[in-house]
Structure 1
């Protein structure tokens, strides 16, 4: 049977988000129906909407959702109707990496989250006028007033948590936080550099400020974002449009280089610069995603003094433990995510998209 709801549909690559009525399938085993309260808009959504990734269109995107459980499918025990939930990525739960506590590296992650558009068994969760619509995006497709969500995408959270503030935790915030806490793990006196201070980069800055790192350097080309980075914990800022990044980091660190770097821009020239200012045994975390097939040259001899380059997906977090902790930090004021957010009514989603592309907003959050 299912229900009819309103969703923001992307008809084809490069098309705007337009509101349309769609049909949600009935929850099956392992699925939950969620009434959406808020959803963050992320650069991954924009990349798929542009046609840069092979997600089936027309389709419904959205992967930073927050809402309330309305109904559960057979066998669901983790949540019940009325529970408040955050939505994040999904995973199989059975492969080696899932069982080892690293579901972001699930053996079937790409198909289940980013490019499949359907359930793992090939059936569709969404339809319009009897025709399948691309859905199941990150196990949720939360740019809709109701979402049919994979149980492994759900995390039950405190009902007092403001949906508009905690929705971005599902992707962008946990990615930046995990880059610092799970990969760099700064020690006393370390230097952390964040290349690009959009939503992910500023989340990394906030995370670094909660560690023993004593020098936190934010690099960007937008002065207003650099000032915000200072407000959120950066000890130094570098305007990449006015100053050579490598020279600035070398000068700030007294020639020692950075112990840890988070690269969020997806620009391989920026990433290469990061490798050049790593301290011996330092680590560069690649978070920003350039187009598929992009290569980056490395100075192999420069890497021999124990320097590391590590790729990262979604902060390498186990969501059931990390997201409730982040919610607590947000509520306690120790992770001021609200400083990144601009709120939009759901029906203004395409305006939010345009503002994000123009750099007028860091983290748009849609309210239903």
Structure 2
């Protein structure tokens, strides 16, 4: 079986379309016809070398599609099922078995090496060159061979094109609040950065019943959207005093919880500084930039917590299903955040994300697809 994929042949290289050969199915794998894939900032970090993945590589880790073949040991899935693809995990280690697959001891090996555990590749060039597959889904492709642990089955009546970002960006943001910070009903939350991850976190705060939800950004258009989606207050930190506004909104106490999605050191420090005594801060950006603080004054005396949250601390098969239910109920309106692009316009879609023009670009690999 062959597939057309957008390949990064070298670090910093542009996307190039090539026809690739797909590996034969393993016993616990499925062949998925990719309908659509979200574009995540992590893809750009990998393309530019900030996060290492062996090249040549097929990136993309927010895919959605339809199963075309199943391996001999696969249970619970069949040809024709609609699925969302997330990260993969071993399913056997202590972390996986205790309900923490995002902490799988083999996470890096399985998701970042671009190879199966036996070292074989899912994609191969016509000359035999192996091609890495990000998160063993490589969703910037028209087809992909994917481990069953990546999959979440979804109903066929919902637009499959919308759902891919539930596997990473929307999962990360919402999970940072729901599974990471775990805010009490009536508590206050500040979200720094109102891109896809930040808006997902903000909408999750609405779902969790937070009474004061503050969106912080430097773009008024993003803040207007945040207000429409449930932010009770917005702050443009470029034109307003962040500390003064937070003091005004919280009676000088600070917020109970803060989430940073920017990865900018100065912004992360500002987010930590506005957390109330006994409150918690979750930095969730994968930028890799340092956060500097003085433990005695920033953590110990105010009894603040910094919480590590990865992939929303979520079990994809549970969290994605829950987020779809919230979407159906009108409480997680992801359709307000996306714009569709033809697969061939991948470079334009990436630029629209980097410029901030589009919150979440989604590539459509199968233009013939129509929701049931």
Q: TM-score range by the shorter chain?
A: over 0.9
Distance 2:242 2:133 in 1: 40
Q: Which residue of 58, 61, 68 maps to 2:59? A: 61
Q: Which residue of 292, 296, 299 maps to 1:296? A: 292
Q: Deviations over 1:42-97 (max 9, x none)?
A: 00011101121221111100111111000011201131111110000000111111
Distance 2:231 2:199 in 1: 9
Contact 2:282 2:306 in 1 (8 A): yes
Unaligned residue ranges in structure 2 (runs of 5+): 366-372
Q: Deviations over 1:182-225 (max 9, x none)?
A: 12222132110000010000001111111221100000011100
Using the TM superposition, give the Cα deviation of residue 245 of structure 1 relative to its aligned residue in structure 2, in angstroms. Answer: 2.1
Distance 2:296 2:72 in 1: 53
TM-score of the aligned structures, taking structure 2 as reference length: 0.95
Unaligned residue ranges in structure 1 (runs of 5+): none
Using the TM superposition, give the Cα deviation of residue 135 of structure 1 relative to its aligned residue in structure 2, in angstroms. Answer: 2.6
- Is 2:216 the partner of 1:219? yes
Q: Which residue of 305, 308, 328 maps to 1:308? A: 305
Contact 1:112 1:136 in 2 (8 A): no
Residue 144 of structure 1 aligns to a residue whose secondary structure is coil
Greater Cα offset, 298-307 or 10-19: 298-307
Q: Which residue of 177, 195, 206 maps to 2:192? A: 195
Q: Deviations over 1:300-341 (max 9, x none)?
A: 233123210012111000111111121122223221001110
Residue 260 of structure 1 aligns to a residue whose secondary structure is strand
Contact 1:39 1:164 in 2 (8 A): yes
Q: Which residue of 352, 361, 365 maps to 1:364? A: 361
Contact 2:181 2:307 in 1 (8 A): no
Using the TM superposition, give the Cα deviation of residue 295 of structure 1 relative to its aligned residue in structure 2, in angstroms. Answer: 4.8
Residue 52 of structure 2 aligns to a residue whose secondary structure is coil
Q: Deviations over 1:215-254 (max 9, x none)?
A: 0000001110000000000000010111232332222111
Greater Cα offset, 78-87 or 180-189: 180-189
TM-score of the aligned structures, taking structure 1 as reference length: 0.96
Distance 2:228 2:199 in 1: 10
Q: How does 1:1-368 map to 2 (within 5 A)?
A: 3-113=1-111, 115-291=112-288, 294-304=290-300, 305-368=302-365
Distance 2:81 2:286 in 1: 34
Contact 1:64 1:142 in 2 (8 A): yes
Residue 170 of structure 2 aligns to a residue whose secondary structure is helix
Contact 1:205 1:233 in 2 (8 A): yes
Q: For the structure 1 residues 320 and 212, does the alpha-carbon distance in structure 2 shift closer, same or farther, using more than 3 Å as the test?
A: same
Q: CA RMSD in A?
A: 1.3
Distance 2:128 2:253 in 1: 59
How many residues of Structure 1 are paired with residues of Structure 2 in the alignment?
Answer: 364
